[in-house]
Structure 1
Amino acid sequence: MAAFQAPKLGIGMIFSTALKPFLQRRPTALDVLEIEPQTLWLADDPFDGPFYEFTPAFDMLAELPQKKLVHSVGMPIGGTRRPHPAQLSLLRRVAERLDSPWVSEHLSIAGTPHKAAGFLLPPLQTDEGVQIAARNIRAFAGGVGRPVAIETGVAYFARKAFEMPDGEFVARICEETGCGILLDLHNLYCNERNGRIRMQDFLAQIPLDRVWEIHLAGGQEMDGYWLDSHSGEMPVDLAAFSREVVQSLPNLGALNFEIYDTFLERMAPEELDDTVNELREIWDRAGISRSDAPPAALVPRPATPGPASADWEDGATRAVWQADPEQHPWPDDAKALRLYAKLARSFRGSILVRAMPRTLRYLLLRDGNSTETLLGRFHTARDPRLFTPLEAESFADYLIGEGEDDPWLLALLGYDLAFLRIVRQGKAQLVRFPGDPTTLFEALAVARLPANLPDGPEWEVELLPDGFTLADFTSDAAAL
């Protein structure tokens, strides 16, 4: 079978609503938009579904003039959790609608088959790990009906003696499956700065003609690590290195820049212009000095006993989810595990702030720093639920289970959840307050608690769907 030849799509960015002003201001500056479908999905259960997509959002994306690439962010293929058939069916539908030439997913683990860590973690790089990833990639490719590229990940752990080198692991998987590579150069940059592997050594180990796509990004320092935080402009030395690397990538089809919407919203227009112009300069050098040198030969290594992948995933997942490094039996990883746990909890906290803004503001104003302690107890007691409405429901259930009895907080909890339930159920929601909530809403809007809240009579507030119906959500019939 002939090797896949990636079409030359050009430069692009991960799509978010924060990118819209740039697309309006410079409509032809980007050739491609990378779409993360699961950010527009809902689920009744985070692992078993059913799963639903918000169809009007994908209709809007299809109408944008740029080419599209689908980048899955919900089924990392490096671990024992297998790709879910219902998610694959929705992903295939999106890829067909957006005419994505290939679909990418992370060569990472996100937890165990039925528990989430809350953050992407590195897979175990052993012979068993290669076979697990190969099995998942074959299932993923069959489900989406497109060529598949695996994203090279960031790893804050040091490589273990029983693991193969990072690039060899990727090369072995490519050899087993025929998949492509999404070469995340900022992830490699993190790994070099954090002392795991030199970028040049990694590149010498992989088949460069399998690189179909590149990711670039910016990062930041935290707790002695350089983070893949997608937080601004790319480092100057990474940009210079990228100009050299792309020259040896004959099959490169796209060069995409990653930045989270919260950072993009704060980025000055001229900084974003400079970044996009720099992407174009890098792209223009792609493949101009192709090397015929093969990757470093994969030399058989003496077998070194290591753990089973399932045991590795279980310990790492519990260590990160519960912020307890002792759950993972490698003491040298304790510092990295504390960082992973901090990042996972920060991410979960940001989900709640967005999903339950009134509840969280009231808690912060009422309880101050004790709110952080409360969230820490919640994060330890409840595993991550992956989808925003499910995480919010889990937090509400935890608060009530802990004995929360403030009638105004409980009303705000119901109010915030009502908006999420409208999205899933497509019907009006009724919320009861112990009195007229106007005073409370006005005070929260200026970040204060009112001196006095009315004591009755009870108020009922009806929230109505606005601009969509339940029919706008599509589910895979096989999951029902």
Structure 2
Amino acid sequence: MTTPPPRVEPGVGLIVTGGVDLLWPDVEDLVDVLEVEPQTLWDGNDGDGRRIARDALRWLRATGRPLLSHGVGYPVGGTSAPDPEGVAAAARSAREVEAVHWSEHLSFNRVGSDGDTRFAGYLLPPVPTPESAHAAIGHVGRYQDRLDRPFLVETPTSYVRATPGDLTDGEYVATIAEGADCGILLDLHNVWANELNGRQSVADFLDAIPLERVREVHVAGGDSLGEVYLDSHVGPVAPEVLDLARRVLPRLPNVRAVLFEAVAHSVATMGAAGLRGVLTDLHEVVDGARADGARADGAPGDGAPGDRAVAPGPRARATRVALRPDDGRTAAREAALLDYTTRATARLSGGDDPGADVLRHLTDQARLSLLVGTHRRELATLLTRLGPQGARAALAGFLAWAPASAWRGEQGAAFDAWWAGLDLEDVAAG
């Protein structure tokens, strides 16, 4: 027998990131629900280390708020299946926090399989073809088979140019949500950023997806890198996104929560006053949606698509887009983007793309950030001996030399091996 999820009225919430616990006493009256990114709270990335740290779990439970679980480590959007042990650990974490529902990104972070797997060290945008959509349907099924709570896929952001012949962003999400019979986490900042960067318009995207499957909404702020607008989660909610939420929420009959996303340093910069301002604005938006009679009935989420419990045996999944012969071309495109962003190759096959350059920069920053807390002495030595420009060049060499990883231990071990073979005198002379 399956256990039904607890009910959650449409509410306002936060993603649990560094600093939220420190500001909690000043904002808790405005927070209805919290969302956990379990991989950021795990003690490690393998075996029993894939468990939420006990202190963090105690704090989460002590808040007394309903909890949602949002994965950031084992995305479902690529042609390569997510690590089954990682999926099992994500399910265990969702169960530990008694998540009302759980979700993952429609992105990819690895290519290949078995002993020939390469990792991105960053969440890369999906290649939106029928083949990758059908693969994602199977990947979502792996999550659904692990836990009898509604599973959601997050609408992706993509900085790369749209490719003629691919599915539109809306077709891609709709095909997966309907084929897997799952819910949708509608990230309004993502789809707005996509429009700004020349992909599908927000209006066309919303017209393409089944809005009745939206159970959660994300909003955020962002900034730009060159001509590309980033989903960086910096600052308060962009005014345009707040206005978009006002217009969209009344169209979402089964939405449970509107969550504000911000990175840790942005939370610290905003402080309690800034965070309260954002949460107050979101309450105004949600209250307005209620007043407009957005909900079809008085039971939040009851009977919503994607809520059915796990049934024994295979599940039939209808698909909106027919699978065409692909001959591995989608996987090859994924591999080309991963190799370029991880510096395994110097040029992007298929031609230059400013968005791919931005992804390379963001991947560099994500990988190097894993070293800051554990290799301060070595990084300081590079800066002192080589100067800022020389240190950057040396670290670019490390990034091209080492396999990419999103895990601190793995990237740290690779840096140790690279450092052991580094001759600073030769580097400085060169």
Measured in 2, the distance between the counterparts of 1:26 and 1:289 equals: 28
CA deviations 1:38-72 (Å, max 9, x no partner) are: 11225466xxx675323332233222222111001
Contact map agreement 2:26 2:272 (CA 8 A) in 1: no
Q: What SS does the aligned partner of 1:143 have?
A: coil
Residues 248 and 289, structure 1, Cα contact 8 Å, conserved in 2: no
SS in structure 2 of the partner of residue 315 of structure 1: helix
The yes-or-no answer on 1:317 pairing with 2:338 is: yes
Matching of residues 349-368 of structure 1 within 5 Å: 349-368=368-387
Distance 1:300 1:152 in 2: 18
For 2:246 and 2:372, how far apart are their aligned partners in 1? Answer: 39
Q: Are the aligned partners of 1:9 and 1:32 in contact in 2 as well (CA < 8 Å)?
A: no
Aligned-partner Cα distance in 2 for 1:343–1:276: 28
Question: 1-side partners of 2:159 and 2:228: how far apart?
Answer: 8
Asked if 1:227 corresponds to 2:230, the answer is: yes
* Conservation of the 8 A alpha-carbon contact between 2:367 and 2:405: no
- Contact 2:91–2:143 (CA under 8 A) maintained in structure 1: no
Question: TM-score, structure 1 length as denominator?
Answer: 0.76
Q: Which moved more, 1:14-23 or 1:338-347?
A: 14-23
Equivalent residues of 2:183, 2:213 under 8 A apart: yes
Partner residue in 2 for 1:127:
130
- Residue of 266, 270, 284 corresponding to 2:269: 266
Structure 1 segment 108-187 matched on structure 2, within 5 A: 108-113=107-112, 114-187=117-190
- 2:74 corresponds in structure 1 to 75
Instruction: Work out whether residues 10 and 286 of structure 2, in 8 Å CA contact, stay in contact via their aligned partners in 1.
Output: no
Alpha carbons of 1:278 and 1:74: their partners in 2 closer, same or farther (altered >3 Å)?
Answer: same
Instruction: Using the TM superposition, give the Cα deviation of residue 353 of structure 1 relative to its aligned residue in structure 2, in angstroms.
Output: 1.5
1:244-393 → structure 2 map (5 Å cutoff): 244-286=247-289, 288=292, 290=294, 308-322=329-343, 324=345, 326=347, 328-331=348-351, 333-369=352-388, 370-393=390-413
- Residue 254 of structure 1 deviates from its aligned partner by 0.8
In structure 1, what is the Cα distance between the partners aligned to 2:6 and 2:134? 25
Larger Rg: 1
**Structure 2 vs 1, CA of residues 269 and 51 (structure 1 numbering), >3 Å: closer, same or farther?**
closer
Partner residue of 2:50?
A: 52
Alignment of 1:331-480 (within 5 A): 331=351, 333-369=352-388, 370-403=390-423
For residues 422-452 of structure 1, what are the alpha-carbon distances to aligned partners after superposition, in whole Å with 9 as ceiling and x for unaligned?
xxxxxxxxxxxxxxxxxxxxxxxxxxxxxxx
Distance 1:44 1:209 in 2: 35
Q: Quick one: distance in 2 between partners of 1:64 and 1:340?
A: 36
Native 8 Å contact 2:130 2:321 kept in 1: no
| Percentage of identical aligned residues | 31
1:133 and 1:6 map into 2 onto residues whose CA distance is: 28
**Matches of 1:139 and 1:245 in 2, distance apart?**
31
Aligned partners of 2:151 and 2:182 also within 8 Å:
yes
Contact 1:151 1:182 in 2 (8 A): yes
Q: Read off the aligned partner of 1:387 and give its amino acid letter.
A: W
Aligned residue for 1:286, secondary structure, equals: helix
Give the conservation status (yes or no) of the 8 Å contact 2:109–2:120: yes
CA distance, structure 2, for counterparts of residue 124 and residue 385 of structure 1: 21
SS in 1 for 2:96: helix
Paired residues of 1:153 and 1:188 also in contact (CA < 8 A): yes
Give the corresponding residue for 1:40: 41
**SS of residue in 2 equivalent to 1:197:** coil
Structure 2 residue identity aligned to 1:165: T
Letter in 1 for 2:339: R
Asked whether 1:216 is paired with 2:219, we answer yes
Between 1:298-307 and 1:240-249, the stretch displaced more is 298-307
5+ residue gaps, structure 1:
293-297, 406-480
**What's the CA shift for 1:208?**
0.5
User: Partners of 1:238 and 1:59 in 2: how far apart?
Assistant: 34
- 2:184 is paired with a residue whose SS is strand
Match of 1:28 in 2: 29
Following superposition, the deviation at residue 90 of structure 1 comes to 2.3
CA distance in 2, matches of 1:9, 1:302: 37
Deviations 1:220-242 (A, max 9, x none): 01120110001111211211111
Alpha-carbon distance in 2 for matches of 1:208, 1:5: 22
Tell me how far apart the structure 1 counterparts of residues 384 and 393 of structure 2 sit (CA, whole Å).
Answer: 14
Q: Is the 8 A contact 1:219 1:232 kept in 2?
A: yes
Task: Mark the CA change 1:325 to 1:9 in structure 2 (over 3 Å): closer, same or farther.
Answer: farther
Rate the CA distance shift 1:127–1:44 in 2: closer, same or farther, 3 A: closer
Is 1:65 equivalent to 2:64 in the alignment?
yes
Secondary structure of the 1:368 match is: helix
In structure 2, give the amino acid aligned to 1:360.
L
Distance 1:380 1:403, change over 3 A: same
Segment of structure 1 superposing worse, 34-43 or 183-192: 34-43
Q: Which structure is higher in RCO with an 8 Å CA cutoff and minimum separation 6?
A: 2
CA contact (8 A) 2:12 2:258 kept: yes
Q: 1:368, CA displacement in angstroms?
A: 1.5
Paired residues of 2:154 and 2:187 also in contact (CA < 8 A): yes
Question: Mean Cα displacement is larger for which, 262-271 or 230-239?
Answer: 262-271
TM-score between both structures, scaled by the size of structure 2: 0.85
Distance 1:4 1:64 in 2: 19
